[in-house]
Structure 1
Amino acid sequence: MKSPMRILLLMMLFSLQNLFAQTKAVKPEQVFGMYFDTFVKQDENALQRLNSYLTPFLGSENAYTINLEKSFNDEVQNLTGMFLTGLSKDKAVACKIEAEQYFNTVLSNLKNTGYTVNSIKEVKNEYADNSFITELSVDMRLPVPAQMSQLNPEEIKKMSAEELKNYLKNKTNEFAKSESEVVVHQVFKLYQVKKEGNTYFWNGGPQELVWKLNEVYFKSLSH
């Protein structure tokens, strides 16, 4: 009885190992989704999933240690500070809360960006032998206000503190609605890593997602 039981146990263990190996296989579009949710939507759970996926083949030393909430708040304060420096001291103090709310809403709006993967193709990595890159052609849809008229700095300086506060409140409400959209096309590269019979995907500079979105987003708002 012992020999058949051992064989049965070994078969079960082999089946479980195969099942585990299969569950580790993640499609490139799913990996892109983790990068997108982490760096565009700034989702902490997505960051944890991405690190859990990357660690087995890149090592824990290459896991992302960014504090997404702090990074977001720092950017809000940075934009607010740049805006307020162009105002008189009294007006800057009076409009600080409204300015913070405005830029918080503007940046939060980016988190509502959606995307569609149009195509996926595999190309040879020209910089490494026997290595391949998976390229994803992606359309990203940025929500923007239906009308995006902006005041120039000189007009803002001429406004009273109360007028500017009302202006910022109105603009904040416009961004909260954001009934239109701008489409940004991008090719996102995922480098392939072969390990233990599995193919893994990773990108060394996912911040490019945010850089290009920010560039198009703020450029569109200035028109």
Structure 2
Amino acid sequence: MSLRLPATAARPGPLITGGTPTMSSREIADLVESRHDDVKRSIDRLVERGVIAQPPMADEPGSDAVGRARPTKIYRLGKRDSYVVVAQLSPEFTARLVDRWQKLEAQPTPALPDLSNPTTLKALLLQSLDSTIELQGRVAALAPKADALDRLADTDGMILISDAAKQLQMQIKELFAWLRANHWIFRRGHSKRDIGHADKIAAGYLAHKYRSILQGGETVLKEQVYLTPKGLTRLAVILGRELQ
């Protein structure tokens, strides 16, 4: 679902906010020599389990294989959570992470603006007003989508994965492959029947129920895994998809 930038793509520098540096998921991927999308999936799983807090997301400028501009979503993590992620992915690279944080923390903290200067204060107020107006516009644009997701999450109906793929505007095989790769569903032994992972069932994302199927001229009951409305909502957020 995510695109990997070519090696020549630009990497953003460390972000320092209020004197506290953060590290991007792209930087962590480079440190542990892993794919960026694998790192982000690991972060999502740790967030779901409540091990780390949901990190803020930003757009990293980059380009695709033919040179077209195409930003990539990255996470920004603090020091503690970055150690948790690396410990989950590749503990042997912890020394690299220590060295990287030492470099980040050695950078000088940007000086705070002089609020006693009327000109500086006026410029900051105008900048804040512009940001507020822009944010209000974004909130207004996202409100219908948020309402639709809330209504969906409150319903009781369960959804076949094949039907969920249509709502997520994905190929059915693509969604099944993603769910298996990201430990939502699996097949036991040589069975052709998908089963939901226990943690996803416990989280309320998946459920099993029996379905009547005509087989050999007889109606038999087959257990099948379903997405709950909560699970579909969660997938839409993780995959950045709009539900139809």
TM-score norm. by structure 2 comes to 0.20
Q: Which has the higher contact order (CA 8 A, sep 6+)?
A: 1
Q: Which has the larger radius of gyration?
A: 1
Which has the larger share of helix? 1
TM-score norm. by structure 1 comes to 0.22
